[in-house]
Amino acid sequence: MLKKLPEGSIVALITPFSENGNVNFDKLRELIEWHIAHKTDGILILGTTGESSTMTHWEDDDVVRVAIEQADGRIPIIVGAGSNDSHTQLEKSLKYERMGADALLLISPYYNKANRQGLIDHFKLSADNVNIPIILYNIPGRTGVNIPVDVVEELSHHPMIQGIKEASGSLSYAMNIAKFVGEDFKMYSGNDDIIVPMLSLGASGVISVLADILPEETHDLVRAFLDGDVKKSLDLQLRYLDLIHKLFIEVNPIPVKEAMNLMGMGVGGYRLPLCPMDEKNREALAASMKEAGLL
């Protein structure tokens, strides 16, 4: 059982769909093998990029089962188990732990939000009842909630809360979170465009959309920095910066799925309310991919 969270590039994996809109489990297995072969350090399933918000609980469970079965202990599988209902989150956390998840990603409660104590109780309800690492997920652009710094500080002392995916895009916020980073609490960049700045603040890696199409390069970017080659890391960050921006030219995961399909990976479409890209944006994405040598 994974006792400590990995460092490096953790791919925020898309969920592939078939032409009929169902989850394409054969393609899911194929993608997991591809990431193992191309140096990805961990796989996050059922995250924002995985479109879990439009999947049924039964589909979620099947994706978790297949991913864990296919990985077979060769790469950590982190599962998004969050909910804005604390008890639903607890149910999912316990279930995915039983299924063999290596760690859990728990988002801050969206829509209903919560005050300081509510946030603490929300995360601790799961943390007090599981025995695998938990990563907090701070993404106020999606949830309307920025987890207060003092809440992160308190939660960072919990033995099962071992990290945070920081996706606010605010380096000022990350600077304050960096004070709690150490052997028992890791920070991950949740934004591909600031991986190097986040690593400079003590982040252990990135939970990445870019890694869906450039797994080795994203791994190398992080590994170079952690090994002391800051110039190589920065060069890679800057080389792919335009492509990173194009991957977010529309709401994630529309552009990255489009990119994967342009590469011939056949990952299918989206579920409403997501829909295909605007043609001008698609052309801009394809041009950036050509510049990066992907097409």
Residue with tokens 């028992």: 184
Catalytic-residue membership of 173: no
Q: Provide the phi-psi class of 152: left if phi over 0, else alpha when psi is between -120 and 50, else beta.
A: alpha
**Contacting residues for 122 by C-beta, under 8 A, at least 6 apart:** 86, 89, 108, 109, 114
State the first-to-last Cα distance of the chain, in angstroms, to the nearest integer: 39
Catalytic-residue membership of 137: yes
DSSP alpha helix (H) spans, 39-164 = 57-71, 86-99, 116-127, 140-143, 149-155
Residue tagged active-site, from 96, 137, 173, 270: 137
In the chain, count H helices and then E strands. 13, 8
Element (H, E) at 280: helix 279-291
DSSP conformation letters of 21-37: SSB-HHHHHHHHHHHHH
Residue tagged active-site, from 27, 165, 186, 257: 165
Secondary structure letter of residue 210 according to DSSP: G
Report the catalytic residues: 137, 165
